[in-house]
Amino acid sequence: MAAPAAPSLLLLLAGAAGLSRAFFSLPLRVSQPASPRASPPAPLPLRPGSAGGGQRDAQDEAGGLALASDPAGSLNFLAMVENLQGDSGRGYYLEMLIGTPPQALNILVDTGSSNFAVAGVPDPDVTSYFNTELSSTYKSQGIEVTVKYSQGSWTGVLGTDVITIPKGIDGSYTINIATILESENFFLPGVKWHGILGLAYDTLAKPSSSVETFFDSLVRQANIPNIFSLQMCGAGLPVSGSGTNGGSLVLGGIEPSLYKGNIWYTPIKEEWYYQVEILKLEVGGQNLGLDCREYNADKAIVDSGTTLLRLPQKVFSAVVQAIARTSLVSLKSGGFGR
C-alpha cells in the first residue's frame, strides 16, 4: 500500500487582546490548498495493524477538505469541539485511552514533533503513567528512542498498543507508542499532561522516518481525510468551571462552527516541521519594515507545543521597540485619571 500523503494542518487561533493594544499581525504567503503529493514515498516498514475492519487507502479523499461530518459514522466533528484543555503557558492536552483495559492519560498536542510518547514509569512531575504490564495488547518492539526538544528530552522504548480518543474519531486503533523511561526537563512541575502527541511529518520521527506517525496511522486505519484542524483558545476564553482554557483538535476535517469568514492557506515550505514563510510582521498596525529573510532565519514554523513566540534577535529587538512606541502612544492618548 502506498504511504499516506503528507498531513494538512489548519490552525484556528482564538485569543483575547491584552491590556496594551500592541497587537501582532504576521501575514503569510497565501495560496489554495495543495493537493497530495503525486508520487508518495516508499511504504514505511513499521506499520501497526488495524484494530478496526477493512482498510482502504484514504488518499482518494485527502485532496479535498471535509467540511461536514456524519454523526452516525466514525467522524463527528461536533463531538471533537472543546476536546482540549490547558493554557497558553503550559500547552494544550487531549484525553486518550491507551491499552487493554484502557488507561486514561492527558496527551500534549505538539505540531513541532512527530513521536507519540507517554510516561512509562512514575515521575515526580506527572500524576499518571502508562503501565505496559497492565495492558494485554501492548507489544514492545525493543527499539530505544531518544527525542530532544528546544527544552527538555526523553529516552524510552518503542512499542505498539491500541488507543481510543473519547472526544475524537470513533473506534480503537493500533499506534506506535514510545514509553518514556528517562527524561530531563521534559515533564515540568504543575503540568497536567502525561505524554506528547507529535503531529508533524514523519521526517522528524525518531529513531527514523520509518516509524509511522500517530496521525498517519489514523488516516490509514480509519480512512479519514488527511487533514486535521487545531483551535487553541487564549487566556481570555476559559473552559467554563474548569479553571483552564480550551480548544479543539478536529481529526479528519474542519468544524465550521469554530471559525468565521474565509480560511486562508499558506504553503508548507518544507515538510518536516510545518515550516512556512513570513512576509512581514506588524505591531499595532505598523509594519516593522524588515527584509522577509530576517523573519525566516533560520526557519519559521507553526508549533503548538511551545509556550513562546520565538523570534530571531534582530526581529525581537524591532518588536520590543515597536511595542514600546505603541504603548507610549496608547498611554498618551488614553491618559490616567485621578
Range 127-134, long-range pairs (CB < 8 A, 24+ positions): 127/192, 127/194, 128/103, 128/104, 128/194, 129/105, 129/194, 130/98, 130/99, 130/103, 130/105, 130/177, 130/179, 130/194, 130/195, 131/103, 132/99, 132/159, 132/161, 132/179, 134/99, 134/101, 134/103
Say whether the peptide bond before residue 202 is cis (omega within 30 degrees of 0): no
Q: Is-catalytic flag, 60?
A: no
**Cell 497530495 sits on residue:** 36
Amino acid at 248: S
Residue 4 has pLDDT above 80, yes or no: no
Of 330 and 250, the one with more pLDDT: 250
Amino acid at 252: G
Q: Please state the φ and ψ torsions of residue 246, each to the nearest 5 degrees.
A: -125, -170
Give the DSSP per-residue string, 55-71: ---THHHHTS------T
pLDDT at 73: 60
Of 329 and 25, the one with more pLDDT: 329
Range 38-47 average pLDDT: 34
Range 43-62 average pLDDT: 37
pLDDT band with cut points at 50, 70 and 90 for residue 327:
confident
Distance in angstroms (rounded) separating the CA atoms of residues 174 and 172: 7
pLDDT band with cut points at 50, 70 and 90 for residue 190:
confident
Q: From the candidates 87, 110, 202, 216, give the one annotated as an active-site residue.
A: 110
pLDDT band with cut points at 50, 70 and 90 for residue 55:
very low
DSSP classification of residue 128: -
Residue 243 has pLDDT above 60, yes or no: no
**Cell 509511522 sits on residue:** 212
Range 303-330 average pLDDT: 84
Range 47-69 average pLDDT: 42
User: What average pLDDT is seen over the chain?
Assistant: 79
Of 185 and 30, the one with more pLDDT: 185
Strands 227-233 and 8-14: parallel
pLDDT at 246: 84
Residue 9 has pLDDT above 50, yes or no: yes
pLDDT band with cut points at 50, 70 and 90 for residue 329:
low
Q: Is-catalytic flag, 110?
A: yes
Say whether the peptide bond before residue 4 is cis (omega within 30 degrees of 0): no
Say whether the peptide bond before residue 71 is cis (omega within 30 degrees of 0): no
pLDDT tens, residue by residue, 75-128:
889 999 999 998 666 789 999 999 999 999 999 999 999 999 999 999 999 999
The fraction of the chain above a pLDDT of 70, given in percent, is 70
Report yes or no: 254 and 9 within 8 Å, Cβ to Cβ.
no
Weakest mean pLDDT among 25-39, 123-137, 317-331: 25-39
Range 1-20 average pLDDT: 43
**Cell 518544507 sits on residue:** 270
**How many residues belong to the chain?**
338
Instruction: Measure the CA dihedral 246/119/4/203, to 10°.
Output: 100
pLDDT at 72: 53
pLDDT at 264: 85
pLDDT at 22: 36
Domains of the chain: residue spans and CATH:
40-258 (2.40.70.10)
Of 97 and 308, the one with more pLDDT: 97
Q: From the candidates 161, 202, 216, 303, give the one annotated as an active-site residue.
A: 303
Q: Show the cell assigned to 86.
A: 490547558
Range 295-303 average pLDDT: 89
124: Cβ–Cβ under 8 A, 6 or more apart, which residues?
Answer: none
